[in-house]
Structures are given as C-alpha cells and as structure tokens.
Amino acid sequence: MDKKKKVNYRQKTSLIILICASLLYLYWYNQDFSKEIIKKQDVKSLSLEGKLLIAASNSPFKDSIKGLIIDHYKSTSVIVEVIPIKNLTTKDITDFDAILILHRWEAGKPTEIVQSFIENNISLKDRMVMLTTSWNGLEKMKNADAITGASIIENVPSFSDRIIKKLNPLLR
C-alpha cells in the first residue's frame, strides 16, 4: 500500500472504532442509569414547617447538591424525602409543599419520566424547583422554570444556594 492509502485506512479504522465506542458507551450509560438505586432518605423534625420531595438521578454532581440541600434542612422543621427520579411518576405529590427535581438532559430532551411528570402535573408547577444539567448547561424544558448548568463539581455550592433560595419561600 502506498502512504496515502495507509492514512485513509487508518482514518476509516479510527472512525469505526470511535463510533463503536460511542455506541457501547451510550448502551452502558442507559443500562447503568436506568437501574439507578437511591435509598429513601427521610429527615424529620418535631414541628413541621413544610414537606420537600427530592427526585434525583445519581451522579456525583447531583448527589453533592442533594447532600447540601438535606444538610441545610436538617436543622429546620422541614421533612425531606428523597426518591429516585424513576419513581417520580408513581409518587403521590399532593402532600408536598415543594418538589425538587434534579435531572439530566439526554439526546436533546429531558428523560421521558421527567417530561411525563411535568405534563401530568402542570397545575403544580409553582411548587416545583428544577435543576437541569446538560453538556452545555443551557438546556431546559419549555413549560418549566429551571436552574440550568453543566455538572461541574466546583459549582455545587452556588447551585445549592440558588436552589435553597427558590425552595425556602415554598417551605415556610
């Protein structure tokens, strides 16, 4: 083979390997996160000020935010319940004063669970606070007011503060 054909062959081979690796990653990602497990966590106090539901998908970024939110409300009389995002559509939300949804943007849209939940509970959107993470940090649903951003761990404290500022009026 001459030099030009070798380069062309290498480029094609590299492209095929890249495509296969991307498809394998997407398959793994969907399999891994569709089976996410989040233990139900309750934080309770004696006198009740409000009830907060946190529905979250697992990621180091969202787990860190969730931890800061829970820590913030531990010293208050707010009850906090945490569920996996996949249980959002089956959860009775009528007793909650605030609902925090921590979700990711996938393939140009929200997950089907989040989309369905918002569509079915549009009348309760004034109780909802959303954090939508995406690769560019700009994506969000049309019918929902959301805090948006990329999952950068260094930004966890500022995102947590913004979320708490939105939650506090709903829980008092």
Tens-digit pLDDT profile for residues 68-101: 999 999 888 899 999 999 998 889 898 899 999 9
Residues listed for the chain? 172
pLDDT at 4: 57
Q: Per-residue pLDDT tens for 104-113?
A: 887 777 788 8
Phi, psi of 161 (to 5 degrees): -60, -45
pLDDT at 35: 44
Q: What is the DSSP letter of 82?
A: E
User: With 50 as the cut, is the pLDDT of residue 131 above it?
Assistant: yes
pTM over 0.85: no
Residue among 46, 43, 52, 101 nearest 74 (CA): 43
Residue in the block written with tokens 């991307």: 22
Mean pLDDT over each residue of the chain, to the nearest integer: 79
